[in-house]
Each structure stands twice: as C-alpha cells, then as structure tokens.
C-alpha cells in the first residue's frame, strides 16, 4: 500500500529522517521535488540541477550525521532541496530576494552550510582542508564533497584530488550529463554495492598484503589486473590513478542503491573514495526534462505548463548587443575568434557559435586555461575575444598577468556582468575588474556607458593590435539608445563630453552614465550648472579631459560601478601628481562600498551602494558646501 501521510511537513531538520524506511524516503523525495518546483516557480532561480539531486540529497542527510558530518556542495546552485531539509523551508520562497535566502550555500545562513560557494571546482579543496583540520584535531566526522561533472572540467578539482593521498575523504561525482558514464543498470549497481562493502575491502587488503612480498613486476601486474578488472566493469581508472577508491556508476535516483552504498562507504575508514552517481538534470518535472538546458536557470513560471514569465519588452540586453556586434566584426575579419568558459548562453557566444562554429571555443569551467589559450591564439595572429564574466575572470588573473600582459599580447577581454547583478548576489558581482585590470602595464581598460558605446568598444578592440585590451558592460537591458550599424572606432584614451556647464563636473565611467544624466537634470533643476562627461577609458586616462574638468569646475565627481581602487583612484592619483589638488579642487569619488552587498533587485542594490541618481546629486551639493537644502527624488541634501 502506498504511504499517504504527508512527510515533509514533519521534517524540520535532517535528524527527523534518520528512522525513515526506504518507502518513506521515496515519498519524502517526491514531496521534496514538488516543494522545490513550487518554490522556484515563485522566485525563479536554478531549477534543473536541484531536481537532479533530490534523491541524493535525501540519502545523504539520511545516512550521514549532518551538520557534524561536513557536506560541501560544489557551485551549490543545486542546494534548494538541501535548504528545505535543513531548517529553511519556511523561508524557501524568499530565495534570491532582498533579505531572503541566498541562491547558494552560505556559512552565515546555516550551520548545515559549512562552506559557501557559487564558483565551480572549489568543493574538493575545501573538503580537503576540513579533512586536514579534522585529523589534526583527532576528530572523527565524515567530510563529503558533492561535485558535478561540469565542475570536473575545472583544474582545481584535480589539483585537490592529487593532494588527497591517503586521507579519509568522500567525493561524490554527480554526473548529470552522461558525459562520463554509460547508462547504469542492475549489474553496475550490484558491483558498486559489492566493491563499497567492507568485505570486499578486507579481501582486497589481504590480497595486497600477500603480493607486497612479491618481486616488483609481479606486484605491479597484480595491482593493474585488479584495477583494470574493476575499471572494465564499472569505469573509474582515471580516479584510481589519482589515488581514489572508485565506486560506481550508480543510479542517482534509486534510493535503495544510494542508501546502501552510502552506508557502506560511511563505515570505511581508510583513504579517499569517489562515488560516481548518475542523475538526470530536471528529473521529475517534464518541462524541465524536455528543455535543452534542463531548466538550468529560470524566471518565475507556471507549474502546470512550465511556461516562464516573460520580461517586458524593452531595449536589448548588453550581452546580446555584444554578441551581435562581435558577429558583425567577425563577418569582416576571419581572424576574430571567441572563447567562453562554459557560459555560451550567458555570454551570448551561443549566437556567435551559430554563425561561426569553427571559430568558437568553449573551454569548460577552466578560466585559467581559457586565458592562456587566448594568449596562444594571439601569438599566431588570431584576434581572440576572451568573453568571461568579470567575477569569473578573477579565477584567471594570474594568466592575465603572466601569459597576456607580460608578453603584451593582443587578447581582447570582454567582461560581462560588470557591477552588481541582482538575484545572484555578491558571488557574481563584477566589482573588482577595473582595479585589477587597470593595474597591469600596457592594458587598455574601457567601460560602456550605453549599448551604442559597447558596439564601438567591440569594433575598437577588434582593430587594436598593440597589446591587451579590455572592456566591461553590465548585466541586463541597455538604455534604448540607437545602435550604430557601422560603429566608429574610439580614439584610445579619449572620453566625451555630453553636457557643458561651469560649476559641477560629473565624470562617469561605465553604465552609471544614465544615472549621472538623471543627477545632472536634478541639479540643473536647482539652478546649478553641470558638465557631464563619459570617461570611456580608465586606462589610459583622458588626462586632457580631467585637466579641463578640474580647472573649469568647483566640484569634480567620479562615478563608477566598481570597488575602491578603480577609476576614481586612478583619477585622484593623476590629479595629486599633477598638483591640481593643491588649489582646493573639491573632488569626490563614488564607488561601490567596501562591503559585499547581498542579493536584491538591481535598483535596490545600487540604492544600498549609494550610486543612484539622487545619491550623485546629493554628493555634488554636499561637495559645494553652500548649505543648500533641496529635495532630490525624495532625499533632502
């Protein structure tokens, strides 16, 4: 008889499912899947990955003693079911909202999140650190890292595995793309249960002890025979070579198999173990299973039909503008190639790939390789556009320095998601690239004030062969300006003046330009004379423009959607060295605050950052110091 009593309502924490039988665990998994679907239909977010690990999540919390046993999720966009089971169900419909739950694991959110994540490839390294701390403290807890097959394209995962040695660590490879394993069935499940058991391990140890006294050739032959026998039956030779005892592949949706194998592995006390679990992304929700991306990231949607909420029509996104501009340049120049690190859709390079499949390279979650790969292309006369989110380019910074900048190679860096990014929160914010790219000798650094400027920067980058060049642009829609069919090339290091005044100079770098324009309107409505300029370049600085603004205005304000140490700092340093600060120029730099800003709507995030129009206008009035009291957008300055 099927179990009919609802179970999820009885579960507050993982301890509540310890005594569930397999039938109850199956029912709990079904209810958990429905709860996840319903929650994400309200909030939007990552859906397919979480649906794929529902049974695995239930089994892990049933078998292991979390939070004492450490459970580390790679990327962690698949952890919505985990959050529901670990005391956060009552807040699950605040996912990715202002003041709500993070879309990723977060240490400050729950003791069941021992490590925060949102970038791929970190779980095994973090788990190894926890293992070392446990062993130094002579503790006994288990440490489990759950990593997807996509994250296994990250070199960091292999660096960590190579360092595992004889440590007692459990790694679960969540293979949801069938890129490694063949379809799994009863035979592979039986073999996995067999080799994960203590009996097999004991016999194996006895056999190894016996052959240890044999001559080396015989000992090595015995080792390879056993290794390849298991490898032929179940795969995993690669992981064995890295020192891991391989178990699998197993069906990640079969709770009988998961519970028994995890229970076996929990009792093993020697050496690192890798359990290969095959799952289906979007499992249990037909619209997700049928989608090409398995509903990786979704907006709010209708649970019954799967239809996602469409955003209001408006200006095109900066990402799509970039992609189309790059396609146009590539049609005229067969040396142009494009590189993405596992984000073709997010960067718009899926569109470029449709047009130029042979000139599009997806290197996987391997930003370091991607940057040096681009450097290699540049040495042979190609024009690589290394298209990586600002936050992910941080992962390839050594290669930007050593392999590109040091050799002055003409690699083009297209840095998407510059500035704050809304629901993805601080892990995905592009806050630091102005400073870290601007610090490099020979690097040209640009930022698009609007989508028309972005097309000009793409064209300028394509024509620039003197060294590395980078340009940044934000997530979301443009401002609606007309996009030129044949964009003019920019003069390197030259900005533009959009409005002439005499008292206050607003110098914007990047996509806060539209807010600076609104601020200029507010100030002029108060009878103040305002010059508005778009710097375009943080490096090289337009020193002629800065000189003019500094000499002809009482107040100079720089505005950027980046951290301290960027464009404003470069401007201040120039003015200090040129002696212009000595004459009493009132200069203010407006940057992102020295803190990580949690997820919210983009407007609210910039409100918290103090970078909306009213903040710019208020800063200008305060800098004048004339005691003005005026109302600007509801804010008294």
C-alpha dihedral, 346 to 347 to 348 to 352, nearest 10°: -130
Which pair of tokens denotes residue 205? 């140890």
Helix axes 513-525, 613-624, angle to 10 degrees: 50
Helix, strand, coil shares, percent, the chain, to 5? 45, 15, 40
Catalytic residue among 201, 280, 395, 618: 395
CA angle 110, 116, 118 (to 5 degrees): 130
Chain Cα centroid distance, residue 629: 43
For residue 5, what is the DSSP state?
Answer: S
Does the active-site annotation cover 395? Answer: yes
Instruction: Name residues whose C-beta falls within 8 Å of residue 577's C-beta, 6 or more positions apart in sequence.
Output: none
Instruction: Name residues whose C-beta falls within 8 Å of residue 138's C-beta, 6 or more positions apart in sequence.
Output: none
Question: Which among 362, 325, 317, 324 is positioned nearest to 343, based on CA atoms?
Answer: 362
Catalytic residue among 24, 35, 329, 367: 367
Residue 15, H or E segment: none
Which pair of tokens denotes residue 499? 């409005």
Query: How many other CB atoms are found less than 10 A from the CB of residue 224?
Result: 12
Catalytic residue among 88, 193, 201, 281: 281
Checking DSSP bridges between strand 297-298 and strand 45-46, what pairing results, if any?
A: antiparallel
Does the active-site annotation cover 281? Answer: yes
Does the active-site annotation cover 383? Answer: no
> How far apart are the C-alpha atoms of 535 and 507, rounded to whole Å?
6
Rg for the chain (alpha carbons), in Å? 28
For residues 513 and 419, is the Cβ–Cβ distance under 8 A? no
By annotation, the residues acting in catalysis are: 281, 367, 395
């Amino acid at each position: 008889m099927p179990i009919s009593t609802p179970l999820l309502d009885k579960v507050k924490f993982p301890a509540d499912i310890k005594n569930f039988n397999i039938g109850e665990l199956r029912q709990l998994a079904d209810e958990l899947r429905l709860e996840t679907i319903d929650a994400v239909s309200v909030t939007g977010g990552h859906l397919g990955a979480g649906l794929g690990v529902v049974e695995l999540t239930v089994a892990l919390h049933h078998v292991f003693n979390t939070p004492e046993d450490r459970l580390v999720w790679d990327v962690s966009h698949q952890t919505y079911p985990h959050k529901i089971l670990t005391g956060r169900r009552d807040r699950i419909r605040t996912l990715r909202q202002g003041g709500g739950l993070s879309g990723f694991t977060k240490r400050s959110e729950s003791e069941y999140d021992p490590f925060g994540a949102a970038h791929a490839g970190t779980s095994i390294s973090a788990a190894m650190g926890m293992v070392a701390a446990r062993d130094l403290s002579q503790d006994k807890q288990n440490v489990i890292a759950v990593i997807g097959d996509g994250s296994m394209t990250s070199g960091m995962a292999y660096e960590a595995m190579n360092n595992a040695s004889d440590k007692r660590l459990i790694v679960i490879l969540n293979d949801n793309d069938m890129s490694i394993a063949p379809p799994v069935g009863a035979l592979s499940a039986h073999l996995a249960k067999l080799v994960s058991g203590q009996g097999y391990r004991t016999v194996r140890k006895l056999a190894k002890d016996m052959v240890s006294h044999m001559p080396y050739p015989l000992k090595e032959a015995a080792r390879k025979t056993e290794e390849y026998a298991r490898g032929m039956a179940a795969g995993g030779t690669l992981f064995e070579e890295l020192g891991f005892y391989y178990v699998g592949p197993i069906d990640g949706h079969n709770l009988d198999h998961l519970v028994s194998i995890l229970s076996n592995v929990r009792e093993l006390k020697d050496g690192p173990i890798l359990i290969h679990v095959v799952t289906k992304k979007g499992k249990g929700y037909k619209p997700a299973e049928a989608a090409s991306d398995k509903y990786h990231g979704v907006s709010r949607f209708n649970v019954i039909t799967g239809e996602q909420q469409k955003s209001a029509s408006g200006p095109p996104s900066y990402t799509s503008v970039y992609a189309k501009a790059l396609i146009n340049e590539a049609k005229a120049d067969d040396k142009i190639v494009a590189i993405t690190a596992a984000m073709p859709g997010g960067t718009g390079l899926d569109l470029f790939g449709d047009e130029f499949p042979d000139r599009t390279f997806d290197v996987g979650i391997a930003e370091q390789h991607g940057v040096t790969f681009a450097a290699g292309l540049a040495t042979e006369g190609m024009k690589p556009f290394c298209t990586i989110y600002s936050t992910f380019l941080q992962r390839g910074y050594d290669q930007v320095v050593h392999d590109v900048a040091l050799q002055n190679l003409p690699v083009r860096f297209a840095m998407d998601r510059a500035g704050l990014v809304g629901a993805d929160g601080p892990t995905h914010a592009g806050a630091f690239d102005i400073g870290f790219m601007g610090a490099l000798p020979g690097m040209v650094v640009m930022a698009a004030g609007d989508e028309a400027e972005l097309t000009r920067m793409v064209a300028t980058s394509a024509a620039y062969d003197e060294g590395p060049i980078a340009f940044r642009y934000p997530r979301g829609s443009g401002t609606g300006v007309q996009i030129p069919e044949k964009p003019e090339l920019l003069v390197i290091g030259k900005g533009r003046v959009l409005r002439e005044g005499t008292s206050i100079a607003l110098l914007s770098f990047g996509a806060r330009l539209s807010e600076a324009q609104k601020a200029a309107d507010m100030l002029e409505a108060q009878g103040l004379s305002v010059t508005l300029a778009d710097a375009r370049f943080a490096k090289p600085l337009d020193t002629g423009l800065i000189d003019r603004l500094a000499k002809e205005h009482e107040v100079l304000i720089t505005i950027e959607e980046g951290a301290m140490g960027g464009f404003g700092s470069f401007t201040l340093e120039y003015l200090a060295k040129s002696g212009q600060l000595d004459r009493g120029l009132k200069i203010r730099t407006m940057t992102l605050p020295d803190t990580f800003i949690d997820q919210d709507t983009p407007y609210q995030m910039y409100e918290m950052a103090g970078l909306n129009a009213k903040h710019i206008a208020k800063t200008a009035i305060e800098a004048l110091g004339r005691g003005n009291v005026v109302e600007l957008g509801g804010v008294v300055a």
